[in-house]
Chains A and B, each alone.
Chain A
Amino acid sequence: MHIPDGMLDAKTMAGTWAVAATGLGIGVRAVRTRMTDGRLVLMAVLAALVFALQMLNFPVAGGTSGHFAGGALAAVLLGPWPAMIVMSAVLVVQAFFFADGGVISLGANIVNMAVVAPLVGWWVYSLAVRISDTRSARMAGAFVAAWAACVAAALAAALMLWASGAAPLLFLAGAMTFWHALIGVGEGLVTAGLVGYVFRLRPDLMRADTEILRPRGLALSLGAVAVAATGLSLLASRAPDGLETVAGTLPSLGGAGTASKLSPMAGYIVPGIANEALVGVLAGLVGLIITSVAVYLGLRSLRSRRAARG
Chain B
Amino acid sequence: MSADIRPGDGAPTATPPAPGLHRDAHEHNGEVHRHVHHHPERAGPGHDHGHGQGLERLTYLVSPIHDLDPRAKIVGAIVLILAIVLSPPMRAAEFIGLWALLLSAAAIGRLPLRWVLARAAVVLPVAGTIALFAPLARGGSLSVGGVAGAYAGGGWVAAWAILSKAFLAVTVTVVLSGTTPTSKIIRGLESLRVPDVFIALFSFLYRYTDVFRAQLRSLRTALESRAPSMPRVRRWRLYGNLAGNLFLRAYDRGERIHQAMLCRGFSGSLPTADTLGLSAADALLMLVVLLAAAAVALY
Contacts of B197 in A (CB 8 A): 28, 31-32, 40, 85
Residue A234 is within 8 A (CB to CB) of chain B in the complex: no
Q: Does B246 contact A (CB under 8 A)?
A: yes
A215 interface hit (Cβ, 8 Å):
no
- Give 1 or 0 for each of B199-220: 1 = CB within 8 Å of chain A CB: 0111111011111110111000
Known: A6-B169, A45-B204. A264 touches B138 (CB 8 A): yes
Known: A189-B240, A196-B240, A259-B88. A7 touches B166 (CB 8 A): yes
Are A190 and B236 neighbours in the complex by a CB distance under 8 Å? yes
Q: Within 8 Å of chain A (Cβ to Cβ): is B123?
A: yes
Contact check, A186 vs B81: say whether CB atoms are below 8 A apart.
no
A308 at the interface (CB under 8 A from B): no
Decide if B240 touches A197 in the complex (CB within 8 Å). yes
A92, A171, A265: the one within 8 Å of B202 (CB): A92
Verify if A191 is at the interface (C-beta below 8 Å from B).
Answer: yes
Contacts of A56 in B (CB 8 A): 216, 239, 243
B66 at the interface (CB under 8 A from A): no
Chain A contacts for B280, CB-based, 8 A = none
- B: number of interface residues (CB 8 Å): 94
Q: Is the CB of B240 within 8 A of A194?
A: yes
A171 touching B154, Cβ below 8 Å:
no
Scan A1-44; emit 1 where CB is below 8 A from any B CB, else 0: 01011111010010000000000000010011000011011111
For the complex, is A96 an interface residue (Cβ under 8 Å from B)?
yes
Docked-complex contact A47 and B201, CB < 8 angstroms = yes
Q: Chain B contact residues: over half helix, strand or loop, or mixed?
A: helix
Q: Which residues of B from 106 to 149 have beta carbons under 8 Å from A? A: 119-120, 122-123, 126-127, 130, 133-134, 136-140
Provide the residues of chain A in CB contact with B13, threshold 8 Å.
Answer: none
Q: What is the number of contacts between chain A and chain B, taking CB atoms within 8 Å? A: 261
Choose among A41, A97, A259 the residue that contacts B89 (Cβ–Cβ < 8 A).
Answer: A259
Please pick, from A32, A73, A166, A258, the residue contacting B162 in the complex, using a CB distance under 8 A: A166
CB-contact partner of B243 in A8, A28, A98, A194, under 8 A: A194
Contact with B along A244-282 (1 / 0, CB 8 A): 000000000011101100111100000000000000000
- CB proximity of B220 to chain A, nearest CB, Å: 9
* Contact of A103 with B122 at beta-carbon distance under 8 Å, contacts A85-B201, A189-B233, A205-B251 already known: no
User: CB-nearest residue of chain A relative to B182?
Assistant: A97
Name which residue of chain B comes closest to A58, CB basis.
B236
Whether B239 pairs with A189 at a CB distance below 8 angstroms is yes
B133 and A102 contacting across the interface, CB-CB below 8 Å: no
Question: Considering only CB atoms, which chain B residue lies closest to A44 in the complex?
Answer: B204
Interface digits, A161-183 against B, CB 8 Å rule (1 contact, 0 not)? 11001111001100000000000
* Interfacial chain B residues near A89, Cβ < 8 Å: 198, 201-202, 205
B contact set with A: CB distance below 8 Å: 55, 77-78, 81-82, 84-89, 119-120, 122-123, 126-127, 130, 133-134, 136-140, 150-151, 153-155, 157-158, 161-166, 168-170, 172-174, 176-177, 182, 185, 195, 197-198, 200-205, 207-213, 215-217, 232-233, 236-241, 243-248, 250-251, 253-255, 257-258, 261, 266, 268, 297-299
Interchain residue pairs A-B with the least CB separation, the first 6 = A193-B240, A6-B165, A197-B244, A52-B212, A259-B88, A5-B169
